Amino acid sequence: MSTKHSIAAEKFIQNSERVTRHDQTFWSVRSKRDALAYELDEWENLREAASNIKKHTVTHLADYLEQFEQNATRNGAIVHWAKDAEEYNQIVWSILRQHEVRKVVKSKSMLTEECHLNDHLIGNGIDVVETDLGERILQLMELAPSHIVMPAIHITREQVAECFRQKGIIAEHGAHAAEGILPEGEDYTQSSDPTFLTRAARYHLRDNFMTAECGMTGANFGIAETGDIVVCTNEGNADMSTSVPKLHIVSMGIEKLIPNYEAMGVFQRLLARHGTGQATTVYTSHFRGPRPGGEMHIILVDNGRSSILGNEEHWQTLKCMRCGACMNTCPVYRRSGGYSYTYFIPGPIGINLGMLKNPDEHYHNLSACSLCCSCDNVCPVKVDLSSQIYRWRQNLDGMHHSDAIKKAMSKGMKILFEHPSLYVTSLKFAPLVNVMPKCLTDIRLNGWAYGHTMPVFAKKSFHEIWKKQLKSENV
């Protein structure tokens, strides 16, 4: 029995060039993060502090949420509460309807992905424009993100160029975008130069910023003491989205709250260093109320988070700040790609969040872990990701999702290990496997022979050699 992850991963690795590129891309991000880590003597202090601040905040979250609401309200923002995706989508829709909004410019938010907001709005006739370049490419290609920070990294420049041509972006903005970027006389309609494509997208998105009536952002952090919403981007798209339209809607998962600026200093230093291997994002913007003549709405979304807090083994997933470091380092993610996972967030954190969301649907992802623990060692807030995956696996049998063949093997091994004489006899006969025809050993039933050849059993077991040695030394 194979999991959905392993089946999808098998397809992904058919194209070895793609796997190598994917693997190296994320390993390079991991390496950049390491270089920054070695620069700071207080690196481990910062991680420990971040973990403890989050532990403190999520175990006092009700108080902090009340404090945040009071301060944000005093700053002139309108605070809403949503217990699930449906209520959240309803609130957004009712705000948009009230303001007769036709077009929304949106900066990247995993929460809106979680709640399928775009589908809901588009179904209601709203023109929703993603403004992060990667997200926009995916939206135009009708694809989902394959990474939470670098969502379109698996798409090639040629694919982007083809998509922009099909959508008329090159026809409309290509000539302007080529100025000073491409050599004069080069046929820009066939160019897949990343600078040219980015410039074309810049002009295309500018048009949308100018005409949208509402800007939506997520929140990297909410600050209880001041009522600030903090949004970090490199492109400045969250700022463009909120500087032109008068209406700003913030969507924030309740676990994104931190107590104060002192804590913010810790997280600002950790987020970009971990996520993309930069000392900072280009923009770290603090929104403390609506812009002149505008309105700011903050929607605090639960969608299962308050219940996760009660889960003794997995509550610490609430510390996660969605930096993506665990995916970048994960050897399985790097070689299987984001689409191999059944949950919309891939990698170690996604495996755990998927299980918390719906175990029957997402237990497949538990196989996407070699228990190498690398994720635990890079997580800026010290979520024990691999230990949590290990714990989920222990419960698979109780959930009737264990692999029947592996279960049978385990039972067999249990008998073998509990009966030394049987074990020794089996070892004696093990080399027989060496001379068995391959068609008998390399079968799908034998999981160990799939994907690699069977090991050669030694003629003498370690046991035998050891006993002989002891005898000869007369111990």
Partner 1 sequence: MDTKEYILKNLRKNVRETYDMPDLSFRKRTYDNPVDAFIETTTTTAGAKLMEIKAGDDINQKIREAYPDAKIIASNIPGIEASLNPDSVAEAQELEKTDVGVIKGEVACAENGCVWIPQTMKEKAICFISECLVILVSRQNIVSNMHEAYERIQFNEYGFGTFISGPSKTADIEQSLVYGAQAARDVTIFLTD
Which of positions 60-119 make contact with partner 1 (CB under 8 A)? 60-62, 65-66, 75-76, 81-83, 87
Extended strands (E) in 181-317: 214-217, 221-223, 228-233, 247-253, 257-258, 283-287, 295-301
d(CA 297, CA 73): 10
d(CA 114, CA 299): 14
Q: Which of residues 403-462 bind partner 1 (CB under 8 A)?
A: none
Among 2, 6, 73, 278, binds partner 1 (CB under 8 A): 278
306 binds partner 1 (CB under 8 A): yes
Instruction: In angstroms, give the least distance from the CB of 399 to partner 1.
Output: 22
Site string for partner 1, 123-162 (x = CB under 8 A): --------xxxx--x------------xxxx-xxx--x--
**Helix-helix angle 43-58:261-275, to 10 degrees:** 120
Among 282, 415, 433, 443, binds partner 1 (CB under 8 A): 282
Q: Which is nearer to partner 1, 298 or 366 (CB)?
A: 298
3-state helix, strand, coil split of the chain in percent (to 5) is 55, 10, 35
Which of 271, 228, 268 minimizes the C-alpha distance to 252? 228
Q: Which is nearer to partner 1, 318 or 355 (CB)?
A: 318
Residues contacting 360, CB < 8 A, separation 6+: 399, 401
Instruction: In angstroms, give the least distance from the CB of 265 to partner 1.
Output: 4
Q: Which of residues 18-37 bind partner 1 (CB under 8 A)?
A: 25, 28
**Kind and range of the H or E run holding 28:** helix 16-39
Residues in the chain: 475
Q: Which is nearer to partner 1, 368 or 380 (CB)?
A: 380
d(CA 97, CA 421): 77
Q: Which is nearer to partner 1, 137 or 330 (CB)?
A: 137
Which of 103, 104, 108, 101 minimizes the C-alpha distance to 138? 108
Instruction: In angstroms, give the least distance from the CB of 207 to partner 1.
Output: 10
Q: Which stretch binds partner 1 (CB under 8 A): 301-309, 406-414, 420-428, 439-447?
A: 301-309
Instruction: In angstroms, give the least distance from the CB of 464 to partner 1.
Output: 52
Instruction: In angstroms, give the least distance from the CB of 55 to partner 1.
Output: 4
Among 234, 377, 395, 461, binds partner 1 (CB under 8 A): 234
Among 15, 307, 358, 453, binds partner 1 (CB under 8 A): 307
d(CA 322, CA 316): 13
Q: Which is nearer to partner 1, 61 or 214 (CB)?
A: 61
Q: Which of residues 42-61 bind partner 1 (CB under 8 A)?
A: 42, 45, 48-49, 52-53, 55-56, 59-61
Which of 268, 194, 282 minimizes the C-alpha distance to 236? 282
Q: Which is nearer to partner 1, 188 or 287 (CB)?
A: 287
Q: Is the dihedral of CA 401, 370, 149, 39 positive or negative?
A: positive
Among 3, 89, 285, 386, binds partner 1 (CB under 8 A): 285
End-to-end CA, the chain: 48
Q: Which of residues 207-226 bind partner 1 (CB under 8 A)?
A: 209-210, 226
